[in-house]
Chains A and B, each alone.
Chain A
C-alpha cells in the first residue's frame, strides 16, 4: 500500500493545567452527549441484524450504555445528559439485546466479543446493575426465562472452555481469554455490589474460583503447548507462552499474546502468581522485540519484514502498552525497570503514528490508541510521565471527536468504519474512551466523586484492574443507612442499633453498617463488642472512608493518636477530599507534631474551602509550626488582600492582624511589624488595646528605640502587678544594680517588714545567687534586727508608746526573715534561736511554726518537723496550705496514714479515699510525696503505682491540648494557642514527670536485679495494714456501686467514646511490680525523656540503667556519652562507666558490627584505655577526696570490682571524714549502701552519723525513733482532741448562758 496507514501527527498536546483540562472536559462531555443522542437515534432506526456479539453487534452498544450509567457520576455527566435520556438507559439496554436462548457453544467461539455469550453477559450485568442501583424496584428472576437462558449460555461456554483441549481458541476476540474477561467482570460485580442471594447463587454456580482457575490453567497449558508447537514448526526460539490462532502466532491485544496476558493478569493473584515467572519472561521477550523494532510490535511471529507495521490495539505496540499498564497496576512490586525502554519507545510510536486512517474506533482507530496512552498515564499516577501521557492522550481524544460518524465522513480524510456505531469499530467504543477520560481528568483536577477506580478500561481487556466498587445498598436500606448516620449524630443510640440491625438483616455483610453499629455499641459502653464489629466491618469494606473514619474515632478516643492518624490516612485514600476527615487528620497531625504532613493537609483544605477564614489562618499556622515563617507571612498578606467587608470591631480579625504582626516580628521585620501594628491600631482593626501596647513595647525594645521606656512605663501604670512589664522595663533600661544596691535593698526590706509581707524572703532569695548581694542582705537584716529589738526601742512614755514608734510586728517579720535566711543557708544553729525568739514574741503566727518545721526538716529532724507543722495547722484549721504542709511532713516522716487523715479534711467526702480524690485532682505534690514515702518505707508496689499515676496525669495534660487544635483555630486565639503548644512541648521537662519516670524505672530496675523484691513488697504487710487494705477495698467497692447506681439512675445511654476508668485491679501495685516485662515498661516511659535532647545527668543514668539491662548497647553508650558531655565527673556517671566497662568485657562473644564499634568508640571516650578499673577509680577518688558523694561512689565501684569488704567499708567511712562535705542525704545513701552490702559496721556508721547531724532523727536507732514517734503521736492526739474543730459550732445549748 502506497499511502501510509496513518496521518502525520501535527497535534499539540493539551497542557494539563486547570484551564485547559476544564476546556477539554467540557469538549469531551459535549461530544459524549451528542454521541449518545446519535446512538439513540441509530438504535431506533437500526436495521442491522448482528445483535449478539459485543464486537460489532448491538450487545456492544448496550454495553456502552451500561458503562455510561455506571460511570455517569464519576465522569460528571449528570448535567450533560438530559434527565429523560438518563432514565431511558435501562430500557435502551434491554431493547438492544436479542431474545436470549440457551446456546450450545463451539470451541474457539466462546468469547462474548463474538458470540451469543456477549448478549448473555450484558444481560446479566444489566440485570445486576438494575437490582443494585439505589432506586430500583425489586427484580425477581425466578421466572425470568432470559436470565435462565443467559446463565445457561454462560455455563455452556465455561464448560466448553474447560473441557475442550484443542489449540487455537484462547485469544480475546473468539477464545477463552475473552470468556475469562467476562467471568472476571461478573465475579467483580457480584462481590462489589449487594446482589440478591438467588442471583448471586446462580452466577456462582457458573463463575466461581474453581471455574476461573480451570480456565486460567487451561489457557496457560495451551500457551506452553503453543510455544512448543511454534518451536517445532518454525525452528525458532519461541516466547515462553504462545497461542496460535488460525495457525498464526499473533502478538497483539485482540488476537495475540498481549491481550491474553492482559486478561490473565487480572485473574485473582493467587492464580496468577504460580505462572508469574513465565508471564514475566513473556513480557520481557515482547519488550525485546519492541525495542529491536524501534517501538513497533509485529502483529505476529515469526516476524515478516513489511514496509509498515500496524500501530493499533489489535495489532502492534498499543497492545503491549495495555499489557504493561495492567501489569504495573496489578503487580507494582514485580515491575521490571528494563521494560521501560520498550514502554517509552512504544508510547512514542503511538504518538507519532497513532492517527490511523481507519478512523474513530477503539480496536484499530484513533480513540483506541488514545486510550492506551490514557491507561499508561494512569499506571504512572503520581509520576512525571502522567502529565505528558495525559496531554497526548487528550489531544488524540479531542481529535477523535471530530471523526465520522460524529461528523459527516465527507469532511475528513479519515475513513468511516464498517460498523460506524459499534463498540469496537465505531462511535460506541469511542464514547467509552471519552467517558474514561472524563473520569481521569476530573480526578486529576481533584473534583468530587471522581476516582480512577471508576475507570473501566477496554472492553474485553480491562475493568478488572479496578478495585471493587463500594457495595451499593438497595434503596430502602440505603435510606435506612442515611437515617443511621443521622441517629448517630443526634446520639439516639438505641434507635441507631435497631436501624443498623434492620439493614444487616437484608445485607448482613455491609461493612459500613457494621462499623456504625460497632461505633454506637461502643458509645453504649460495650467496648469490646463494638470494636469487634468495627474490625469486621473494615475487613468487609476496606475501601470505604466511613469504616476507617469510625475506627479512627475509636482509636482517637483511646488516645492512640498514631493509630488514629493511620486510619484517617486510609479513610482519606478512599475519599481524598472529605473535609471532616481532613480537619480531623490535621488535628491529629498537630497533636503528633507531624508538621510536614500538617502543612500538606492544610494546603488541601484551603484549596477545597478557600472562602473560609479558618482555612487560611490554619494554613498560616501550619507553615509557622513547620518553621516556614516566610510562607506564613506571604499567605497572611495574600489573605488580607482578598478579605473584604470586615465588620468594624471584629475581634477575630483583630486577633488575626495581631498574629500577622507577630509573624513579621519573628521574621525580624521589626520596622514593618511596628508600622503595621500602629496602622492597625489607629484604624481600629486591632481592638485589643493591651495587646497593642505589649507588642509595641516589645517591638520598640527590639528596635532599641528610645520610645521603648515610655511604652513599658505606660504598661506598668496600666497594671502594676505584672512582673513581665517590669522585666521588660528593666531589660530595656539595662539596669544593673550596683553601688546603691545596699541602700535600695534596705528600703525595700524595711518596707516589707513594716507591711508584714510574708513572702518577702522568697521574693528576695533569687538575689542570693550573687554572694555579695546575699551578704549585703544579711547585714541589712541583722542591722535592722538590732535597731528594732524591743530592748533598744524607746521606752514607753506615760505608759504609752510614742505615736511614731515602730510597730512590734516589724521586729517580728525581721526575725522571721532572718530565720528563713539562715535556714536557707543551712546555718541551723543561727536560725533556730531566731525562730524561737519569734515564737516567744508572738506565738500566734503560723508562719513561724512552718518556718521552724522546714528548718527542722532540713536539719533532718523529721519528727520535730511534723510537730511544728501540726502546731501551725492547728492555728488555722481552714488553711489548706498549712494542712498540706503538715500532711507533707507526715509523709516525709513515713506517717502515711496520718497524712491521709489530714488530707481527708479537705478532699471530697464522697471520694473513695482522700488519696483517690487527690489523684483525680491531679495533685502532683501529693502523688510525688506519697510515692516517695512508700518508696522509703520499702513498699515498692504502692510507690510504683503512684509514680505511674503521675505519668498518667501528664498523659492527660498531653491529651488536654487536643480540643484546642480545633477550638483555637476556630476562635482565632492564635497567640494563646502558640503558648499552649509551647507549654505542652516542654512537658517532658517537668520536674515531677522526670522524677516519677526516673523513680519508677529505678524500681523496675531494682526488681529486675532482685526479683524477690516484688514478692516481699506485699508479703511484708502487717495484720493492721492488711485490715486497712481490706477496708479500703470495701470502701472502693461501695463507692463503685454507688457510682453505678448513680449512672443507672440517670440512665443516660451514651457513655461517650473514651474508655471508662477501669476499676482498680491492682490497688497496691503488686501486679505492676511483678510484671515480667518491667524493663520494657520502664523503657516505654523513659523513651519520652530520651527522645528529647538529654539535659540532665540523672535522666542519662536512668536511660543507661534500663538500656544496659535490655542489652541495648547502642542506647546505653549514647546515654553515657550524653551524661559525659554534661558533667564528666558526675559520681553516678563514674559508677556507670565502670559498670559498662565490666558488662561489656564480660560478654561471652564480641558484639556484632556496627554495634561493637559504637560501644568501643564510646568506651574510648569514657574510659582511658591505659588504666585498670581500679586505678581509674582511685584516681577519681583522689580528684574528689572532699566530696562525700564521690567518696561513696568510689566505694560502690570498689564493691563492683569485688574488692574486699573491709576496703569498701573503710572507703564508705571516708564519707564522714572531717573535711568531707557530707550532708544528710548522702550519709543516708551511704548507710543504705552499707546495709545492702550486709556490712557489720553498719550500726557504727549510723551512730557516727547521728553524732554528726545533731538535730537529725534520721540516724536514730529504730527503737529510739519509734519512741520519738510515739511521744509525738501522743502529743498530737491530745491537741486534736482538744480542738475538735467544727463540732463546737453546732454546740448544744448547755452553758450558753451562765447562771
Chain B
C-alpha cells in the first residue's frame, strides 16, 4: 500500500489520524471504488487519466483515516482568461466517516496547496453543487466559498438538474470578486459540466 503522507491528529482522539496521499496509477483502483460508492455518476476513462497527471498531484488526493482510505478529492486546473483556476471535480467521504471534520481537513489541504502554488499562480478554487444538496452548499460556505452563479441543466441525468457555482478567492486583495462571477455565469453550462460531485457533509 502506498503510505499516506502529511498526517494530522484529529482533536483529542488519539486514535484518529487523517492523512492524504497522491493519486497514482497504482492506487487508482481505490478512487474507482470510492467514486462508484459515493457518486451517482459513472466517470469516464478520461477522468482517470487526468487525475494521475503530475501537475495535478497536489490537487488529487486520497483521504485516509488511520491508514484506511475513506475519501477522495480530485481537482483539475483550468485556464480562463489568462487566469488559472482550480476546479474541484469530485470530493467525498464514505458515509461511516462523515461528521468528523475529515472533509474539512481535505478541503483545507487543497486550498492550502492551491494558495502556495506559484507556477501557475492560482487565483481561485471553484466547484458545482447540486441545488438539492443544501448541506453541501453550507459546508463549502463554512469554508469561505461564495455562491457566484447558477448553472441551469448542469446535471443531465437527474430529476433536478441545476447546480450552483461556488467559488473561493485565494488572494482576495488581488482581484475583485464580483466581475468574475458574472463571467462564469455567462459561460455556463460549461462543456466540462457534470464533472463535479460532492458528498462531504
Q: Which residues of A contact B (CB under 8 A)?
A: 754-756, 790, 796, 799-801, 803-812, 841-846, 874-879, 1282-1289, 1291, 1295-1299
Could you say which residues of chain A place their CB within 8 Å of the CB of B76? 1297-1298
A1288 to B51, CA, bound (A): 9
Does B78 contact A1297, Cβ atoms closer than 8 Å? yes
Query: Which of B62-70, B111-119, B158-166, B169-177 lies at the interface with chain A?
Result: B62-70
A846: chain B residues within 8 A (beta carbon):
1
13 contacts between A and B (CB under 8 A): A790-B96, A799-B99, A801-B99, A803-B11, A809-B65, A843-B37, A876-B27, A876-B30, A877-B28, A1284-B25, A1295-B46, A1295-B50, A1297-B77
Cα distance, A877 to B11, chains bound together (Å) = 33
Q: Does B13 contact A (CB under 8 A)?
A: yes
Q: Which chain B residues numbered 35 to 77 have a C-beta less than 8 Å away from chain A?
A: 37, 45-46, 48-50, 52-55, 65-70, 76-77
Contact A845 B65, CB 8 Å, known A803-B11, A1285-B25: no
Number of B residues with CB within 8 Å of any CB on chain A: 49
Enumerate chain A residues within 8 angstroms of B27, measured Cβ to Cβ.
Answer: 875-878
Dominant secondary structure of chain A at its interface with chain B: loop
Assess whether B12 is in contact with A876, with CB atoms less than 8 Å apart. Answer: no
Q: Cβ of B90 < 8 Å from any Cβ of A?
A: no
Q: Kindly state whether residue B29 has any CB partner on chain A within 8 Å.
A: yes
Chain A contacts for B77, CB-based, 8 A: 1296-1297
Considering only CB atoms, which chain A residue lies closest to B68 in the complex? A809
By a CB distance below 8 angstroms, the chain A residues around B99 are: 796, 799-801
Report whether A807 and B49 are in contact in the complex, using a CB–CB cutoff of 8 Å: no
B25 to chain A minimum Cβ distance, whole angstroms, is 4
Quick one: CB contact mask for B182-198 with A, threshold 8 Å, 1 for yes? 00000000111001000
- Residues of chain B lying within 8 A (CB to CB) of residue A756: 66-68
Contact A878 to B96, CB < 8 A, known contacts A756-B67, A804-B13: no
Q: Does B100 contact A (CB under 8 A)?
A: yes
Contact B70 A844 (CB under 8 A): yes
Shortest Cβ-Cβ A-B pairs, 5 listed:
A874-B29, A844-B69, A878-B26, A877-B26, A1298-B192
CB-based contact B12/A803 at 8 Å: yes
Determine which of A799, A844, A1288 lies in contact with B25 in the assembled complex, contact meaning CB atoms within 8 Å: A1288
Contacts of A755 in B (CB 8 A): 15, 66
B interface residue numbers (CB < 8 A to A) = 1-2, 11-13, 15-16, 24-30, 32-34, 37, 45-46, 48-50, 52-55, 65-70, 76-79, 87, 94, 96-97, 99-101, 190-192, 195, 201
Measured CB to CB, the closest approach of chain A to B97, in angstroms, equals 5
The residues of A that contact B2 with a CB separation of less than 8 Å are 876, 878
A1291, B49: Cβ atoms under 8 Å? yes
- How close is B96's CB to chain A, nearest CB, in angstroms? 4
B51 to A: closest C-beta gap in Å: 9
Pick the residue among A842, A1296, A1298 that contacts B70 (CB under 8 A).
Answer: A842
Closest chain B residue to A1299, Cβ basis: B191
Give, as a whole number of angstroms, the nearest-CB distance from B108 to chain A: 16
Tell which of B28, B45, B94 has the most Cβ of chain A within 10 Å.
Answer: B28
- How far apart are the CA atoms of A796 and B201 in the complex, in Å? 13
C-alpha spacing A1070/B59, complex, angstroms: 57
CB-nearest residue of chain B relative to A1286?
B25
Complex Cα distance A497/B201, Å? 84
- The interface residues of chain A lying within 8 Å CB-to-CB of B94 are 841-844
Collect the chain A residues with CB atoms within 8 Å of residue B195's CB: 1298
CB contacts (< 8 Å) of B87 on chain A: these are 1298
Among residues of A, the one whose C-beta sits closest to the C-beta of B46 is A1295
Is B26's CB under 8 angstroms from A842's CB? Answer: no
Q: Is the CB of A877 within 8 A of B45?
A: no
In the bound complex, what is the Cα–Cα distance between A801 and B87 (angstroms)?
29
Contact of B96 among A842, A1286, A1288, A1295 (CB under 8 A): A842
Q: Which of A804, A845, A1283, A1296 contacts B68 (CB 8 A)?
A: A845
Complex contacts, B48 vs chain A, CB 8 Å = 1282, 1288
B192 → chain A closest CB, angstroms: 4
- Nearest to B195 among chain A residues (CB) is A1298
Measured between beta carbons, the chain A residues less than 8 angstroms from B54 are 1289
B77 to chain A, nearest CB (A): 6
Could you say which residues of chain A place their CB within 8 Å of the CB of B37?
843
Which residue of B16, B25, B68 is within 8 Å of A842 (Cβ)? B68
Contact of B52 (CB < 8 Å), options: A809, A878, A1291: A1291
Contact of B100 among A801, A841, A842 (CB under 8 A): A801
| Cα of A519 to Cα of B196 in the assembled complex, Å | 75
The verdict on A803 contacting B68 (CB below 8 Å), with A875-B33, A878-B2 known, is no
Contact, CB under 8 Å: B79 / A879: no
Query: Measured between C-beta atoms, what is the minimum distance from A1216 to chain B in Å?
Result: 41
Q: Across the interface, which residues of A come within 8 angstroms of B16, CB to CB?
A: 807
Q: Are B13 and A803 interface neighbours, CB within 8 A? A: yes
A238 to B166, CA, bound (A): 136
Closest Cβ of chain B to A853, distance in Å, is 15
Residues on B with C-beta less than 8 A from A812 are 68, 96
Give the residue name and chain of the B residue nearest to A882 (CB): B1
Which chain A residue shows the least CB distance to B56?
A1296
Kindly list chain B residues whose C-beta atoms are within 8 Å of the C-beta of A808. 65, 70, 96-97, 100
Q: Which residue of chain B is the closest to A795 with respect to CB atoms?
A: B99
* B26: A residues at CB distance < 8 A: 876-878, 1285-1286
Q: Chain A residues near B67: list those with CB within 8 A.
A: 756
With a CB–CB cut-off of 8 A, which chain B residues contact A878? 2, 26-27
CB distance from A1212 to the nearest CB of B (A): 46
Contact between A875 and B97, CB atoms less than 8 A apart: no
**Residue in A841, A879, A1291, A1298 whose CB lies within 8 Å of B191:** A1298
**Interchain CB contact under 8 A, B100 and A844:** no
A796 to B45, CA, bound (A): 38
Min distance, Cβ A655 to any Cβ of chain B, angstroms: 39
| Known A803-B11, A804-B13; contact A845-B69, beta-carbon cutoff 8 A | yes
Residues of B within 8 A of A1298 (CB): 76, 78, 87, 190-192, 195
Residues of chain B contacted by A874 (CB below 8 angstroms): 29, 32
Chain A residues positioned under 8 Å from B53 (CB to CB)? 1289, 1291, 1296
Distance A806 CA – B65 CA, assembled complex (angstroms): 12
In the complex, chain B residues whose CB is within 8 Å of the CB of A844: 30, 33-34, 68-70, 94
- The answer for the CA separation of A756 and B68 in the assembled complex, in Å, is 9
A754 touches B15 (CB 8 A): yes
Residue of B nearest to A1287 (CB): B25
With contacts A846-B1, A1298-B78, A1299-B191 taken as known, whether A810 is within 8 angstroms of B15 at the C-beta atoms is yes
With A1297-B78, A1299-B192 as given contacts, are A1283 and B32 in contact (CB-CB < 8 Å)? Answer: yes
A1284 to chain B: which residues have CB within 8 Å? 25
How far apart sit A874 and B48, CA to CA, in the bound complex (Å)?
Answer: 14
Bound-state Cα–Cα, A1021 to B30, Å: 40
A844 to B52, CA, bound (A): 18
Of chain B, the residue at the smallest CB distance from A878 is B26
Residues in A whose Cβ lies below 8 Å from that of B96? 790, 808, 811-812, 841-842
Q: Cα distance A1066–B125 when bound, in Å?
A: 65
B77's closest neighbor in chain A, by CB? A1297
- Cβ-closest chain A residue relative to B67: A756
* Chain A residue nearest to B34 in the complex (CB): A844
Q: How far is the CA of A796 from the CA of B97 in the complex (A)?
A: 12
Min Cβ gap A840→B in Å is: 9
Q: Do the beta carbons of A1288 and B12 come within 8 Å of each other?
A: no
Distance in angstroms between the alpha carbons of A845 and B94 in the assembled complex: 12
Q: By CB atoms of chain B within 10 A, which of A844, A876, A1287 has the most?
A: A844
CA distance A812 to B69 in the complex (A): 12
Minimum CB–CB distance for A364 against chain B, Å:
100
> Complex formed: what's the CA distance from A1118 to B18 in Å?
65
Report Cα–Cα, A1298/B86, bound state, in Å: 11
CB B120 to nearest CB in A, in angstroms, measures 10
Q: Which of B30, B32, B46, B79 contacts A1297 (CB 8 A)?
A: B79
In whole angstroms, what is the CA distance A251 to B130 when docked? 132
Shortest Cβ gap from B191 to chain A (Å): 6
Residues of A within 8 A of B15 (CB): 754-755, 806-807, 809-810
Inter-subunit contact A807/B29 (CB<8 Å): no
B33: which A residues are within 8 A, CB to CB?
843-844, 875
